[in-house]
Amino acid sequence: MAFLVSGTLQVAAQIADAQDSLGRKGKYNLQGPRMALTLSSPEVLASTVAVLEDVFQILGFESCQRREASVQEFLGELTGFRKQLDAHGGPMGCALVALVALSGQLRQPQQLVRELSRCGALRGCPKVFLLLSSTPGGAPKPRAFLTELGELCRRCSHWSLLQLLTEVFCRMAEESSGATYCPVLRSSLRGALCLGDVKPWRPKPEPSFSAQYDLSGTRAALLLSVMLDRPGAQHDVKALRDLCQALGFETTLRTDPTAQAFQEEVAQFRKQLDTHRGPVSCALVALMAHGGPQGQLLGADGQEVQPEALVQELNCCGALRGRPKIFLIQACRGGHRDAGMGLIALPWFWRWLQAPPAIPSYADILQIHVDAQGSSSSGFTPGNSDILTVYAATEGCVAYRDEKKGSDFIQTLVEVLRTDPRGDLLELLTEVNRQMCELDVLGPDCDERRKACLEIHSSLRRRLCLQA
């Protein structure tokens, strides 16, 4: 009997470990199979798909499927792929889906992303989406992107995918009409994702000086917070203000701005930076307010302002050209309250194994939008480089705040940055998301536990470390 119980516990532990693919050191273990799927419209050149398949092989995907279909048929094809993974009979290691179509055709990629998020076999596993577009009959830009990515994967296999993409973005950036354009990534990953064939005996190359932003100049921060009818907001304001000052930011605070004042304050902030004597090396803008059903910010007057408009306002700052611009957005982006995805196991496993909590439904997703100058395929402000935007909630979801301690996002962010201010900011934000995803949140208008998840949008082209 003891042997039977011991064996049962061992099997149960293996199931629990497989269900939670995130290692204890904040890195996905990728022990299961890696599956890749390419969905391409008929107009896409076969050579582009061939380059894709080469990259998949470099990244260690043993199963690479291809479907040619119209963009309208992509959802049905992806549903079939999801069912295939669920019928596999065991947990996956990682899934990669490449969506290749003519520029402007992929207008609602989030519907495709969320379809794969429903896959039980991929619960807790990274899901990577490559959104590539091309021009009819022409050589598509994605081929150059894929070539750069494949080369870097061979040389720097120990780098995380976010590190690799940042380097690729630097190489792919283009100057156009006085602005710099590059691809954009959109992440809700909870840990480091290393897809390469890591050789522990291979020496780790040191990053060059150009691989990191120079923050020796002035740093400026603008904090805009609606306090009215937002209990606990004062804790966020104090924590964030103290952090900015500790990191050497010249900080400006404005409370209870109206929707118009949001725009005016960011515009005034931009003008001050443009007239500043001496170099400006970095800007941080925190936007804290109630959110509308489509992700709008609500001013103290209840009127709406689009956060993307505020991002673009600061992007026009000449003093910040080629410099990192950080936006922290603590606001709801809709009314959905995510119950998360629980373990697929018997109830007694929970009691015996102390299984990890449910995972937010839209965690562990990485989207890479290569056609940065293209249409609205990315679903958010595309194209401009050196921008990092962090949302306290994924698209359509509630951002939580506690009246006694403030919001989980701001408080966790401050704690992580104070612990390791010299770390790479993208990696630190991934750690913030990991900690947030482990929380069970009880909202003021809900008696059931809910989950929260960050969404990070980045077009950074270098490592960003806020303290030398």
Catalytic positions are 290, 332
CA–CA gap between residue 221 and residue 327 (Å, rounded): 10
CA–CA gap between residue 98 and residue 214 (Å, rounded): 34
Helix axes 259-274, 307-315, angle to 10 degrees: 10
Name the 3-class secondary structure at 207.
coil
The single-letter code of the amino acid at 267 is A
Please spell the DSSP secondary structure of 370-397, one letter per residue: --TTSSGGGSS--SBSSEEEEESS-TTB
Please spell the DSSP secondary structure of 125-140, one letter per residue: S-EEEEEEEE-TTSPP
Decide: 465 and 424 in contact? Cβ < 8 Å: yes
Judged on CB neighbours under 10 Å (0-12, 13-18, 19+), 39 is buried
Structure tokens at 407: 């919001």
Rounded to the nearest 5°, which phi and psi values hold at 260? -65, -40
- Please state, as a whole number, how many other Cβ atoms lie within 10 Å of the Cβ of residue 83: 11
